[in-house]
Chains A and B, each alone.
Chain A
Amino acid sequence: MKGQTIFFDKPVSVSQVATIAGPKEGEGPLKDYFDYILKDDILKQKSYEHAEIEMQRRVIKQLLNKSCLNDGEIDLVFAGDLLDEIIGCNFALREFDIPFFGLYNACATFGEALILGASMLQNELAERVICSTTSHFATAERQYRFPLELGNQRSPLAQWTVTGAGGCILDKKEERGVKITAGTIGKVVDYGVNDANDMGAVMLPATLETLDAHFRDTGRKPDYYDMIVTGDLGHAGGRLLLSMIKEKGYDLDENYTDCGILVYNREAQGVGQGGSGAGCSSLVFCSYLYKLMQRGLKRKILLIPTGALLSKTSSLQGETIPAIAHAVSLEVL
């Protein structure tokens, strides 16, 4: 580990991906890239929490089916979501016979899962692992905000939690394809923003810090990457990031985008500043970004899932909101 960055000198392959998108995401610009689009977001379950558990279960099942593996051939699962005590993945993993680590870094969980999974493989502690995350609009709304039926105006800064699940298999044996070559682990950064609607501003300093550390540790310049994709800073957050990172001497204008921007059609879908949620970066990476790399359209992508580490209790007690961002460097070698 150099600084905050782990280099995977025996690069780890992302050998298989699977995604399940909610109905709203299925109407968005990435609709042709998803494996499966849900017709409704309750999935015949008795509650939205159960629906989220079911999404997590289905995405892991889909990964196994797509790669013709059974439970015993996966060494480990790293998964997470936004529910209380991460029940989304905890309960989904009841259905599988696979050792499991449950993770929580809010919307940055997917980055955390990828880096942990890759580290396991790099050190030959495991052969094949699954990384997956989910989020659900209805459960997140209740978890962090207000009841669904309460007549409240959405703040112009608010983001729309993505309903969806994305997962991938990391494989050591796979020779070709998309590789994880480095991961920069973020620090918890708190710049004193306390508006729980303004997630872009909350997560921006953490993103800056992680990007700075990544470029410093790797000696790479922003133009090394074909694409630099943050998790869910949204439109306004992304714009502010571009202007603030210039002060640190980096120029991202050419290749920057954001999963929360990619996943929705902002004008037509009324989503505020864009998508957010633990499922946002996994859904976009495991569909659109992965396929771009597979087809050779982009060869080097830096994915930076960003997470705001708040809870309803901490907000009520007047705490400011800390945030974290992990950077994962993905390359087609």
Chain B
Amino acid sequence: MEIFLTYLTVFAVGGFICLIGQILINLTKLTSARILVIFLLAGVFLEAIGVFGYLKDFAHAGVTIPILGFGSNLAKGAIEGARISGLFGALTGGVKAAAAGLAGAIFIGFVVALISKARSKP
């Protein structure tokens, strides 16, 4: 029962975040790159003011799978870095924490693009 509730929360919260994105697209005709940037910065902001942790405890993947989670990782890493090793940490911490996503996207993108071809739509 508990697991069902968890997934329901994940579905509802994740869906709701995407719904906000859709409203933004519908009303402002923003392109996907801008939508991604807006949500990423929102994630950075939520982490910086310390709210994201609570959201994550509540909705798990519902907030970490949207690009909000990527932004929060970046901010969390930078804050951590700043605490441990000062200015140097503030500069490197963000990228360190987001390394999984970045390296994954770059490497997988490279491999997939090497073997597949763009195809026209039917």
- Rounded to whole angstroms, the CA-CA distance of A138 and B120 in the bound complex is 6
Contact of A148 with B32 in the complex, beta carbons under 8 Å: no
User: Is B119 an interface position by the 8 A CB rule?
Assistant: yes
How many A-B pairs have beta carbons closer than 8 Å: the answer is 26
Chain B residues positioned under 8 Å from A137 (CB to CB): 120-121
- Rounded to whole angstroms, the CA-CA distance of A142 and B2 in the bound complex is 47
Q: How far is the CB of A264 from chain B (nearest CB, A)?
A: 13
A149: which of B25, B29, B118, B122 is its contact (CB, 8 Å)? B118
User: Is A195 an interface position by the 8 A CB rule?
Assistant: yes
Return the CB mask of B22-41 against A: 1 if under 8 Å, else 0.
00010001011000000000
Chain B residues positioned under 8 Å from A146 (CB to CB): 31-32
Chain B residues positioned under 8 Å from A148 (CB to CB): 118-121
Return the CB mask of B95-122 against A: 1 if under 8 Å, else 0.
0000000000000000000000011111
User: Is A147 an interface position by the 8 A CB rule?
Assistant: yes
B120: which of A41, A152, A153 is its contact (CB, 8 Å)? A41
Contact of B29 with A195 in the complex, beta carbons under 8 Å: yes
Residue of B nearest to A22 (CB): B120
A112-164, CB < 8 A from B: 137-138, 146-153, 155, 163
User: Is A7 an interface position by the 8 A CB rule?
Assistant: no
- Rounded to whole angstroms, the CA-CA distance of A41 and B122 in the bound complex is 10
Contact of A138 with B118 in the complex, beta carbons under 8 Å: yes
A36-75, CB < 8 A from B: 41-42, 48
Q: How far is the CB of B20 from chain A (nearest CB, A)?
A: 16
Chain B residues positioned under 8 Å from A155 (CB to CB): 29
Chain B residues positioned under 8 Å from A195 (CB to CB): 29
- How many residues in B have their beta carbons less than 8 Å from beta carbons of A? 9
Chain B residues positioned under 8 Å from A163 (CB to CB): 120
Contact of A147 with B120 in the complex, beta carbons under 8 Å: no
Contact of A48 with B120 in the complex, beta carbons under 8 Å: yes
- Rounded to whole angstroms, the CA-CA distance of A42 and B119 in the bound complex is 9
- Rounded to whole angstroms, the CA-CA distance of A98 and B31 in the bound complex is 44
- Rounded to whole angstroms, the CA-CA distance of A184 and B121 in the bound complex is 36
Q: How far is the CB of A14 from chain B (nearest CB, A)?
A: 31
Chain A residues positioned under 8 Å from B121 (CB to CB): 137, 148
Chain B residues positioned under 8 Å from A138 (CB to CB): 118, 120
- Rounded to whole angstroms, the CA-CA distance of A68 and B122 in the bound complex is 36
Chain B residues positioned under 8 Å from A150 (CB to CB): 32
Q: How far is the CB of A159 from chain B (nearest CB, A)?
A: 14
User: Is A326 an interface position by the 8 A CB rule?
Assistant: no
Chain B residues positioned under 8 Å from A300 (CB to CB): none
Q: How far is the CB of A316 from chain B (nearest CB, A)?
A: 11
User: Is A172 an interface position by the 8 A CB rule?
Assistant: no
Q: How far is the CB of A321 from chain B (nearest CB, A)?
A: 14
User: Is A179 an interface position by the 8 A CB rule?
Assistant: no
Given A153-B25, A195-B29, A24–B118 Cβ distance below 8 Å? no
Residue of A nearest to B22 (CB): A153
Chain A residues positioned under 8 Å from B25 (CB to CB): 153
With most chain B CB atoms within 10 A of its CB, the pick from A48, A149, A155, A163 is A149
Chain A residues positioned under 8 Å from B32 (CB to CB): 146, 150-152
Interface positions of A (Cβ within 8 A of B): 24, 41-42, 48, 137-138, 146-153, 155, 163, 195
| Sample of 20 A–B contacts (CB below 8 Å) | A24-B122, A41-B120, A42-B120, A48-B118, A48-B120, A137-B120, A138-B118, A138-B120, A146-B32, A147-B118, A148-B118, A148-B119, A148-B120, A149-B118, A149-B119, A150-B32, A151-B32, A152-B32, A153-B25, A155-B29
